[in-house]
Amino acid sequence: MKELLINKLKEKFQDFIEEIIDYSNELTFVISKNKILDVCYFLKNNEDLKFDYLVDICGVDRFKKENRFEVVYNIWSEKLKYRIRLRVKVDEKDLQLDSVTSIWKSADWYERETYDMFGIVFLNHPDLRRIYMPEEFEYFPLRKDFPLIGIPDSLPLPRRN
């Protein structure tokens, strides 16, 4: 199964796969930023592969100087009963990425949550706003430089009397 997947992806997208990691029986592909939409389209619509269920999208803050953030896509194939992971590196100076809502509709709220927590903007998203924090909140909570107890007075509280 793993060989089939690696071969199929390599023959089409050889230059854009940066790394292939195989850890604890799970396969991860690190893909470059501008080809993520094509890779996802290929994975969903290819007759042998058919990865039609998007499990999760999340962001990770690596806290390095270059390529600070990463966006991770976990997908599942109903036909092959196999799981796969895609990772995309995003730099802090260019916090934009293509949205995959045109491929899997469930990416809608996942990408809103990643925007709310990290500040990564997804282009062509139908409705990109904050989902967990109130609209007026100015910071991005899950970045490593935001403190756990929060910033005092960043959220309003009603008066007692």
Partner 1 sequence: MKENSLSNNQDIRNKIIQKLLEQDVQIVSEDPLENTMVLNMGPSHPSTHGVLRVILKLDGETVVDAMCDVGYLHRGFEKIAENSTYHEFIPHTDRLDYLSPLSNNVAIALAIEKVAGITAPPRAQYIRTILCELARISSHLMAIGSIGIDLGALTYWFYTFTEREKLYDIFDLVVGARFTTSFTRIGGISHDITEEGIQAIKVFIKELPSILKKCEKLLNRNRIFIDRTQGIGKISLEDALNWGLSGPNLRASGSERDLRKDEPYLIYPELDFDVPYYNEGDTLARFLIRIDEIYESLRIVEQALKKLPEGEIISNDPKNALPRKEKIYTKMEELINDFMLVNFGINPPVGEIYQAIESSKGELGFYIVSDGSGYPWRLKIRSPSFCNLQVLPLLLKGQMISDVVAIIGSIDPVMGECDK
Partner 2 sequence: MGLESYLNGEGFFTTRVNDLLKWSRTNSLWPMPMATSCCGIELMSFAGPRFDVARFGSEVFRMSPRQSDLMIVAGTITYKMAKVVRKIYDQMPEPKWVIAMGACASSGGMFRSYSVVQGIDQFVPVDVFVSGCPPRPDSVIKALLDIQAKLKKEPISKYY
Q: Which amino acid is at 4?
A: L
Site mask for partner 2 (CB under 8 A), range 93-132, x = bound: ---------------------------------------x
141 binds partner 2, rule: CB under 8 A: yes
The residues near 149 (Cβ < 8 Å, ≥ 6 apart) are: none
Q: Which does 156 bind (CB under 5 to 8 A by kind): partner 2, partner 1, none?
A: partner 2
Q: Tokens for 134?
A: 């109130």
Q: Which is nearer to partner 2, 11 or 136 (CB)?
A: 136
Q: Which phi and psi angles does 8 have, rounded to 5°?
A: -65, -40
150 binds partner 2, rule: CB under 8 A: yes
- The Cα 81–Cα 46 span in angstroms is 15
Query: Total number of residues binding partner 2 (CB under 8 A)?
Result: 18
76 binds partner 2, rule: CB under 8 A: no
Sheet containing 53-61, strands listed edge to edge, beginning at the edge strand earlier in sequence: 17-23, 26-31, 82-90, 69-77, 53-61
24 binds partner 2, rule: CB under 8 A: no
Q: Tokens for 14?
A: 């050889």
134 binds partner 2, rule: CB under 8 A: yes
